Amino acid sequence: MFIDKGPPTRADAAGPEVATDKGIVRGMWENGLAVFRGIPYAKAPVGALRFAAPVQRDPWSGVRETTEFGPPPPQPMRITSSDEWLTVNVWTPDLRTSTLPVMVWIYGGAFTIGSSDQPEFDGAGLAAQGIVVVSLNYRVGVEGFMQIEGAPSNRGLLDQIAALQWVSNNIPGFGGDPDNVTVFGQSAGAASIGMLLVAPGAAGLFHRGIAESVPASLFGRDLAADIATVIAGELGCRPTVAELAATSPAALVTATAHVARAVTQYQGRWGYDVVVRGSVFGPVIDGAVLPDSPWRALAGGMGRDVALVIGHNSAEYNLAIALAGGPGQVTVAEANRALRLLPPVADGAQAYRAAYPQAGHAELYGLVCSDFVYRMPSLHLAQSHAGGGGTTHLYEFRFDASPLGAAHTTEIPLVFGTLTSPVGAQFYGSPPSLAAVGVSAEIISAWGSFATNGDPGWPAYDPVNQLARVFDTQSTVARYPEQASQEIWTRYPFDPFPLQHR
């Protein structure tokens, strides 16, 4: 239940208070919104709970101050002294109701990095549309996704489910309707939404989903186990709870980073797919947390009661290329290797050159990697969901005003309306262009409308017309633009990455 009735009339008035199922929390007023940061939704996963499924937090007495974000889960460059990793944050425009739509953000980061405290994820812009916005932290890297003997698989997904259960139990006190919850996420967060759609533990905890840039992300259990053996071996251990429990999170982060930097050395063992994807972690089909691949299960009808918006950016892999030194660093040999190994057709290089006759080797490299890692997994997930009887709205983000073009992550400041954040300014200038402001307003309106009533403002996808929203300076509704790539990848199943050999 809520306690405070509205914003203070004096600058020094106490912050808003809400009674959760574990105790009272006090947040703060920010521009007419009640904001709560760092509310724990589970016990700290350390000590006896290290590498375990999340456990409910014990109740507390008195009022807990929730004005600062909780610490990020262990990851490179973000190690903290606090172990309270599993927290949620809430932005709400009205504590006097329990009927507002709810949007729950799941961050990306290749299942290796990420946290909810990034400025570009500020929920105020969306909350100002009359929506209760929630963001959450979940375990990444070794803590959340490494295969460890004696520990449950997919611990990061279990964290997400626990956070969604917290939302179901507590969001009415923050103004939200627990029967109108939309999860939205980008990259690994978007892949997580696909996994949650088929995870038994998440059933009924959300009602719509928005998946931005869904990556190919499933790891075979044999591959995940071999990667775990290599990472633990960096520390002279085996990947078991008994041997890793005494190892600090920081040491495991360092070992992971060392292996990730040397991933090309393992190409013959782990496959070129892992090298291109750029991550050594991902969910696995374990038969419990995740019983099947979303691409397969959705086609069979799972998740059809959950309406979806699914899409991708037009130049996804530009980000990875930029981080590797830019298009000028892409060699002909590297492009030819990608064109030979990635496309699921007999002569992939010829197929791409015929489909994109004007493209040079660097552009072809970006296209085939974009297709394999993000564009085609997103399209195929939408097709699977629609084919299984679900309502799916497809989009492509083509607004290329950032220095990277319409690359991976460049839509995020537009989705949140955080154009003045450091990332927003890096992509769209300071002040941002009128075009960027306009596209941002359009996406916020579409996402908010979908979360409110299930209609983002354009027709649902069907296999005949294949209509999609194309977000750009002048947005349109048109046939899905990437027909050439779609033809090449039409029968690819996006099964888990296998172990090549030991």
DSSP state string for 358-404:
T--HHHHHHHHHHIIIIIHHHHHHHHHHHHTT--EEEEEE----STT
Q: Which residues of the chain have pLDDT under 70?
A: 1-13, 502
Q: Which two tokens stand for residue 1?
A: 């239940």
Q: Which two tokens stand for residue 85?
A: 């990793």
DSSP state string for 317-332:
THHHHHHTT-GGG--H
User: For residue 80, what pLDDT is reported?
Assistant: 77
What is the total residue count of the chain?
A: 502
Domain 308-488: CATH class, spelled out: alpha beta
User: For residue 502, what pLDDT is reported?
Assistant: 62
Q: Where in the chain do CATH 3.40.50.1820 domains reside?
A: 17-277, 308-488
User: For residue 10, what pLDDT is reported?
Assistant: 38
The predicted-structure confidence for 268-317, as pLDDT tens digits, reads as follows 999 999 999 989 999 999 999 999 999 999 999 999 999 999 999 999 99
User: For residue 82, what pLDDT is reported?
Assistant: 86
User: For residue 63, what pLDDT is reported?
Assistant: 97
The predicted-structure confidence for 71-111, as pLDDT tens digits, reads as follows 999 999 877 778 999 999 999 999 999 999 999 999 999 99
Give the catalytic positions in this structure: 187, 316, 408
Cα gap 355→424, rounded to integer Å = 34
What does pTM read for this prediction? 0.95
Q: Is 165 left (phi over 0), alpha (psi -120 to 50) or beta?
A: alpha
- CATH fold for domain 17-277: Rossmann fold (3.40.50)
